[in-house]
Amino acid sequence: MFKLASLSLAKPHHPRSGKLWSMTRMFNTNASQFPEAKQRFIPSSGQYPRGFYVGGLHCGVKKKKGVADLAVILSDRATTASAVFTTNQFCAAPVQFDRNAINKAREARKQMIRAVVTNSGCANAVTGENGLKDAQQMAAAGDKRVKAFDQNGTNPPSSPSSSSASDAKDNSTLVMSTGVIGQRLPIDNICRGIEAIELGDSHDMWMRAAIAHMTTDTFPKLLSHEISLPKGNIIRLAGITKGAGMIHPNMATLLGTVCTDAAITQSLLDKALAHAVARSFNSISIDGDMSTNDTIAVIANGAAGDVSISSESSAEYMAFRDALTDFMAELASLVVRDGEGATKFITVEVEGARTFGDAKQVASTIATSSLVKTAFYGKDANWGRILCAVGYAGIPLDTAKVSLAIYPGDGTAPLTLVSKGEPLLPVDEARASEILDQEDVAVRVELGLGSESARIYTCDLSHDYVSINADYRS
C-alpha cells in the first residue's frame, strides 16, 4: 500500500564558495516556472528513502547559464544495484561503463555502488574511445566525492586527503548522460561540478536533481512513496526520470534512477527490476525511436533496517516486486505525459490474450501506430485504424471475438465501438467527440482468447512534435 507523506529534514551544509556554489544558491525549484498544465504532476513534498543525499546545479554542459545540467545521487553506504539498458547497438559510453560496473559487482557478490552522476545537454554517445575515457573520468570524480562524503559529511569544504578513512572503493559510481549525440562532454566542468555540488536529503534537493535531468522535458519527473511490507516494516522509494522523445519499448527508456532503503539481495533485485520494467518503462512509447543512452537503475541501500528480502517465495519479496512495478509504472507515465508536442495521454489496454507477451505485442502495435496517434490528435474516432493495428500485430486471432471500446479519463461511461467482431453502427459521434476532447483517454481491446492482459502508455502525435525535433540542436 502506498502512502505519500511530507518530509522535513536538516538543512545541508554549504560547500566552499566559488562560481559553481553561487549558481547552486540561485537554483530555482519553484513549480511555477513550469507550464501550468504540468504543475499538477510536480510534487510539493515527498517521503524519501533514508541514507541518500542528492543535488543538482549548472556546471556548463548546457550553453545557457544557470540552467541545471548536473545531478548527483549519493548513498551513505554501499548499495545493491541493478539496471536495464538500451538494446541500441550504438549504445553510449555511459551505458557501456555502467553495464561493466554492475556486472563487476554481481561477479564479486559485493555491494559496491555508492553514487549515480547524471549530466544533461550532451549524450556522450557515438564518441569513440574518448567518450569512454570521459565516462571513466566522470565516474572517478564521483568516487572522489564519495570518499569526501565519508570523511567530511555531505558538503566538504575541500577534497579529501590521501589519509581519508573512507572505505569506498573505486568503481563505486554509475554515470548517465542525455542530450545531443556525437559531441564530447566538457568533462573538466563536470568534474568541478561533482566536487562542488551541494547535497542534501530534503525535498528541495531532490527537486534540484530532477530538474538537472531535463532536456526537452517541460517539467521535472520526481516521485516518492512509502510502502508497508506484510510484516509491518516500512520502506521508501524515490525515483527521478527524464524523457519526452526517442522513447520506445524494449529498453529501459531514457534515463531513470530509483532509490530505495530496502535491503534486498542482488538476484532478487535483478528479478524484481526485470518484472517491473516489462510492465512500466518497457511499456511506453512516444515516437518509436530508441535512444542510444537508455538506462533505468535501481539502487537499494538497506538503510530502513529491520528486514532483508532474501527469498523469492516470501510475501516480503512479492510485496516489494509489485510495489516497485506500480511505482515504476507511475514514474514512466510521467514521461508519456511530457511527450514532445503531446496533447493526450493514451492508455492502451489489451485483455483476453493467451499470454502476457501476446497482449503486450498487440498493445504496443496499437500504441506505435502513427495513424492511430494522429487520429487521437485530430479527435477522430477512427476505430478502423485501431483494429487494423490489432490485425497486423502478428498474433493469431479469432476476429469474431474481438471487442473495442474507448474510455474517458473522467470516469464517465465508455463508448463501445466493436462487440465480438461486429461494429456498433452508427457510431455515436457526439459521445466520441466528448471522450476524445479529454486529455486522458483509454483504448481497451478484448481478444477473447485467454486471461492474460497488458497495458501500454502512449500519446498523440502532433504538429509540435515535428517542430521540436526539427530545432533540437539549435
429-to-345, 404, 418, 424 alpha-carbon distances in Å: 21, 16, 14, 12
Question: For residues 122 and 106, what is the distance between their CA atoms, to the nearest angstrom?
Answer: 29
C-beta separation of 151 from 160 below 8 A:
yes
Which one of 29, 127, 154, 253 is the catalytic residue?
A: 253
Burial category of 137 from C-beta neighbours within 10 Å (exposed 0-12, middle 13-18, buried 19 and up): middle
User: Half-sphere exposure of residue 291, counting CA atoms within 13 Å on the CB side?
Assistant: 33
Question: For residues 299 and 105, what is the distance between their CA atoms, to the nearest angstrom?
Answer: 12
Question: For residues 247 and 241, what is the distance between their CA atoms, to the nearest angstrom?
Answer: 12
Query: What are the grid coordinates assigned to 333, written together?
Result: 507515465
Question: For residues 186 and 174, what is the distance between their CA atoms, to the nearest angstrom?
Answer: 18
User: Half-sphere exposure of residue 424, counting CA atoms within 13 Å on the CB side?
Assistant: 16
C-beta separation of 309 from 267 below 8 A:
no
C-beta separation of 372 from 288 below 8 A:
no
Q: At residue 189, what are phi and psi to the nearest 5 degrees?
A: -60, -40
Ramachandran assignment for 39, one of left (phi > 0), alpha (psi -120 to 50 degrees), beta (any other)? alpha
Question: For residues 242 and 70, what is the distance between their CA atoms, to the nearest angstrom?
Answer: 13
**253 catalytic, yes or no?**
yes
Question: For residues 354 and 446, what is the distance between their CA atoms, to the nearest angstrom?
Answer: 11
Query: What are the grid coordinates assigned to 54, written together?
Result: 542528492
C-beta separation of 91 from 40 below 8 A:
no
Cα pseudo-dihedral 146, 174, 30, 11, rounded to 10: -20
Q: Would you give the DSSP letter of residue 217? A: -
User: Could you give the residue numbers annotated as active site?
Assistant: 253
